[in-house]
Amino acid sequence: MSSTFLGLPSFPVAARESTRDGQLRANLRHATHTIRAKRAVAVGELSDWGELRAAGAAIKDHTLAHLDHYLQQLEQAVTAAGGHVHWAADADEANRIVTDLVHATGETEVVKVKSMATQEIGLNEALAAQGIRAYETDLAELIVQLGDDRPSHILVPAIHKNRAEIRDIFRTQMAAWGRPAPQGLSDEPAALAEAARLHLRQKFLHTKVGISGANFMVADTGTLVVLESEGNGRMCLTLPETLISVVGIEKIVPTFRDLEVFLQTLPRSSTAERMNPYTTMWTGTTDGDGPKEFHLVLLDNGRTDTLADTVGRQALRCIRCSACLNVCPVYERAGGHAYGSAYPGPIGAILTPQLRGTATELDASLPYASSLCGACYDVCPVAIDIPDILVHLRQRVVEGGETVRGGVKTVLEPAKGHTTERAAMRAARWVFTHPAAFAAGRRAATATRRLHSRRLPGPGRAWTDTRDLPAVPAQSFRAWWQRTHTTKGGTP
Amino acid sequence: MRAALFLTCVNDTLYPDTGRAVVRLLERLGVEVDFPLAQTCCGQAHYNTGYRHEAEPLARRHARVFRDYDYVVTPSGSCAAMVRDIHPRLGGRARAEGRGDGLARDLTGTGTRTYELTEFLVDVLGVTDVGAYFPHTVTYHPTCHGLRMLGLGDRPRRLLEAVRGLELRELAGAEECCGFGGTFAVKNSDVSAAMGADKVANAVRSGAEVLCAADNSCLMHLGGTIARQGTAIRPVHIAEILASTREEPLRLPATGAPVHMTVGRPGTEARARREGTHR
Ligand code: SF4
């Protein structure tokens, strides 16, 4: 695992801070609500959305069920087309492979296409430790990098920043990374984009190594596919002499034709576009056109462990559209950083505890970072039942049980810190399965109702800090029923 | 027609008025209501918190208690969803764990005979005008499990629109979760409170006197927020509105501040307090 996210606080602790940040809340609210509404319109245009969604899920499920086969097929196809394929079991291995490949070119600078996989493994930090500077070229990633910040959204990594904040970052930081921001830069979107364009253009023209991820890898042709909106990705994918792509093994689709489904669902779900502006596809290398060297690093990093879980494996269908983030009321208020990984929002809450396990307090808290409202499942273009997986992972946290870590079957102990809750749940189950006890408890609650405070001490404070408790009524329903409908009803 | 009332453990203890309202309403519509006293809890809180195995005996007990009824009616969207959607999954998971078909067998059937109240009224009884009278402005919050798991659609709305004297007000961001989420409300209390405050603010902005929903768990969270803020809008379960008649009208709950008629423009003090807590 990369060190970027080590030692971060649990979700509720991080969210306590971020929910109180008025500027952050306002930025997120505005951004997510805007894109949420646009997505609904873009998706609503397609009468066959339901079928596309089902087809996407089916293609992914089929591929995952035969992943070994398709990966080998892909390796053959990429190799036959002049590329080199490397296999990385975890983040460290992937970082080592990429570092060595860059070293072999003799270069110390690389340009990067926006990529989730390289964030997941903390590639930039690993490269920096070896004296290699990685330049992010996606506009939002550039903002995050210049601001020495972390991305907080899959698609819009700087969603937590507004225009004025971005202008300040450009003004103060651009010079340290290359061409400085123009004098008197305003916070007009066009001016900001132009400043970034000038700054990045230099990098594109002079840097000899490009690093990317990929949205899809086609097994039968060996083609990699990157979808983007700015064209900066295409610059990185075509101008450098060497291209290194780090891609999670689940990004594979069997045939070129399968792209038909995802090239419809991904743009509409993520940017609310009917078709994304730039779709770059490449197959190995081509003489006299594009990079002369192409390396594909296939990344596992917890994916085969995830695949071993019959409930949780659905998460590997994800095409990283970020629609689930944009509809999530928890994400909207807590912000992306609280999720403590490259993957924020609902998908992060189910993916991170599977890729990294649930050993840390943060990772064990992620499955609880949801009210289970189900909005994420509704919009997911590959129909991942996120609430179902959340509950499943909660069970892994509180009950422990069998799982696979690093390819080895492991039996997890129930997590610490849930002892009181576990006892309470067990007690409640006993009471509810012994109705006489249930009735007695309710009578006690009713009898002592005048003693009940509207504010609780201890853990209950989490409720009563902001909310009153309901008053316990003088008579339970059951008591009323027995008085008024005595001849009816079952026996207790 | 005979139907069993599955009231839910929360309503039984904390919201008996809702139970009485369902009984009154259904009896008024000619349904013979039974309340099996052996009912306790469907296991939802256990299941959603990760204690699936603790939820199993509760689900089993629930199925047994309601086995002999053709219609089981519940005034809770989330408990209806638990019985209909989750109980069958419990059986499937037990089977996948090599524990045989027993649980799946025990849990079949009850779900398909379980109806959330508004579904029962509209789909089974075929009524939207239940003869109710409630001369107030009302805004309706469609709770998540009713909206997404059960697909209640416009049933609650149609029922409310047919109520004499009732004026329905649009709720901005209606489909957004209120932030209750069971143990979420405690485990992630800051986010939950922020969501609740936003929902209440939208409800207040609707100008309605009453915030109506078909689930008391959500209303407990929203009502608690409303009471703490001293906001004037009142949380009321849809069953109580539908049970209200000209002869026996529902009087708005007397807790909290009196309903004040300019709720669209809350007093500066309440607004300052609200903004201070979540902005
Ligand atoms: S889980 Fe679904 S909605 Fe969320 S990013 Fe992945 S594909 Fe998109």
Please name the residues between 253 and 272 in chain B that touch chain A, using a CB distance below 8 Å: 255
Q: How much is the mean pLDDT over chain A?
A: 92
Token couple for B188: 């992630």
Which of B7, B57, B224 comes nearest A470 by C-beta?
B224
Among the ranges given (A167-181, A431-445, A470-484, B32-46), the one the predictor scored with the smallest mean pLDDT: A431-445
Please name the residues between 349 and 378 in chain A that touch chain B, using a CB distance below 8 Å: 367-375, 377-378
Residue of B nearest to A446 (CA): B13
Q: What is the mean pLDDT of residues A63-73?
A: 98
For ligand 1, atom 4, the nearest C-alpha belongs to A324
Which of B13, B15, B184 comes nearest A370 by C-beta?
B184
What pLDDT, on the 0 to 100 scale, is given for residue B277? 33
With a cut of 70, say whether residue B257 has pLDDT above it.
Answer: no
Question: CATH classification of B137-274 is 3.30.43, yes or no?
Answer: no
Q: Please judge whether A466 and B225 are an interchain contact, meaning their C-beta atoms are less than 8 angstroms apart.
A: yes
What pLDDT, on the 0 to 100 scale, is given for residue A271? 94
With a cut of 90, say whether residue A148 has pLDDT above it.
Answer: yes
What pLDDT, on the 0 to 100 scale, is given for residue A462? 77
Token couple for A24: 């952050």
Are β-strands B2-5 and B32-34 bridged in parallel, bridged antiparallel, or unpaired? parallel
Q: Strand pairing partners for A226? A: A280
CA distance A407 to A302: 8
* Ligand 1 nearest atom to the CA of residue A379, by list position: 3
Q: What backbone torsions phi and psi does residue A488 show, to the nearest 5 degrees?
A: -100, 180
**Nearest residue to B138 (alpha-carbon basis) of B225, B46, B89, B209:** B209
CB B218 within 8 A of CB B180: yes
The verdict on B151 touching A (C-beta cutoff 8 Å) is no
pLDDT band at A487 (very low <50, low <70, confident <90, very high): low
With a cut of 80, say whether residue B273 has pLDDT above it.
Answer: no
Among the ranges given (A44-48, A252-256, B192-196, B269-273), the one the predictor scored with the smallest mean pLDDT: B269-273
pLDDT band at A453 (very low <50, low <70, confident <90, very high): low
pLDDT band at B256 (very low <50, low <70, confident <90, very high): very low
What pLDDT, on the 0 to 100 scale, is given for residue A127? 98
CATH superfamily of A47-137+208-303: NagB/RpiA/CoA transferase-like (3.40.50.10420)
With a cut of 90, say whether residue A267 has pLDDT above it.
Answer: yes
With a cut of 50, say whether residue B260 has pLDDT above it.
Answer: no
With a cut of 90, say whether residue A449 has pLDDT above it.
Answer: no
Q: Which of A43, A154, A322, A331 to mutate to test the pocket of ligand 1 (most atoms within 8 A of CB)?
A: A322
Query: Where exactly does CATH 3.40.50 map onto chain B?
Result: 137-274
Task: Quote the crossing angle between the two packed helices B189-205 and B216-229, to the nearest 10°.
Answer: 80
**Nearest residue to A94 (alpha-carbon basis) of A306, A246, A294:** A246
Q: What Å distances lie between residue A403 and A298, A391, A393, B252, CA to CA?
A: 23, 15, 11, 53
pLDDT band at B270 (very low <50, low <70, confident <90, very high): very low
Q: What is the mean pLDDT of residues A247-259?
A: 98
Q: What is the mean pLDDT of residues A296-308?
A: 97
What pLDDT, on the 0 to 100 scale, is given for residue A461? 76
* Ligand 1 nearest atom to the CA of residue A345, by list position: 4
User: What residues of chain A lie within 8 A of the CB of B179, using their CB?
Assistant: 329, 371
With a cut of 50, say whether residue B215 has pLDDT above it.
Answer: yes
Q: Please judge whether B195 and A329 are an interchain contact, meaning their C-beta atoms are less than 8 angstroms apart.
A: yes
Mutate: best of B9, B40, B87, B215, partner A, most A CBs <10 A: B40
Mutate: best of B10, B13, B61, partner A, most A CBs <10 A: B13
The verdict on B16 touching A (C-beta cutoff 8 Å) is yes
Q: What is the mean pLDDT of residues B41-64?
A: 93
With a cut of 70, say whether residue A414 has pLDDT above it.
Answer: yes
Please name the residues between 319 and 348 in chain A that touch chain B, using a CB distance below 8 Å: 329-330, 333-334
**Is residue A347 within 6 Å of ligand 1 at its C-beta?**
yes
Q: In angstroms, what separates the C-alpha of A377 from chain B's closest C-alpha?
A: 9
Among the ranges given (A29-38, A246-255, A407-416, A448-457), the one the predictor scored with the smallest mean pLDDT: A448-457
User: What residues of chain B lie within 8 A of the CB of A398, using their CB?
Assistant: 49-51
What pLDDT, on the 0 to 100 scale, is given for residue A81? 98
**Is residue A327 within 6 Å of ligand 1 at its C-beta?**
no
What pLDDT, on the 0 to 100 scale, is given for residue A454? 61
Residue positions counted in chain B? 279
Half-sphere exposure of A231 (CA within 13 A, CB side): 6
Q: In angstroms, what separates the C-alpha of A362 from chain B's closest C-alpha?
A: 13
Cβ pairs bridging A and B (under 8 Å):
222
Q: Please judge whether B228 and A468 are an interchain contact, meaning their C-beta atoms are less than 8 angstroms apart.
A: yes
Full-model pTM: 0.91
What pLDDT, on the 0 to 100 scale, is given for residue B265? 31
Q: What is the mean pLDDT of residues A35-39?
A: 96
Q: What is the mean pLDDT of residues A342-355?
A: 97
Give the helix/strand (H/E) hosting B173. Answer: none
What pLDDT, on the 0 to 100 scale, is given for residue A450? 65
User: What residues of chain A lie within 8 A of the CB of B16, using their CB?
Assistant: 473, 475-477, 479-480
Please name the residues between 109 and 168 in chain A that touch chain B, using a CB distance below 8 Å: none
Q: What Å distances lie between residue B78 and B37, B61, B74, B88, B152, CA to CA?
A: 21, 18, 10, 15, 11
With a cut of 50, say whether residue B266 has pLDDT above it.
Answer: no
Q: In angstroms, what separates the C-alpha of A270 from chain B's closest C-alpha?
A: 20
Q: How much is the mean pLDDT over chain B?
A: 89
What pLDDT, on the 0 to 100 scale, is given for residue A439? 73
With a cut of 50, say whether residue A375 has pLDDT above it.
Answer: yes
With a cut of 70, say whether residue B274 has pLDDT above it.
Answer: no
Return the top range by mean pLDDT from A413-422, B188-197, B254-263: B188-197
Estimate to the nearest angstrom the gap between the alpha carbon of A329 and the chain centroid: 15
What pLDDT, on the 0 to 100 scale, is given for residue A458? 65
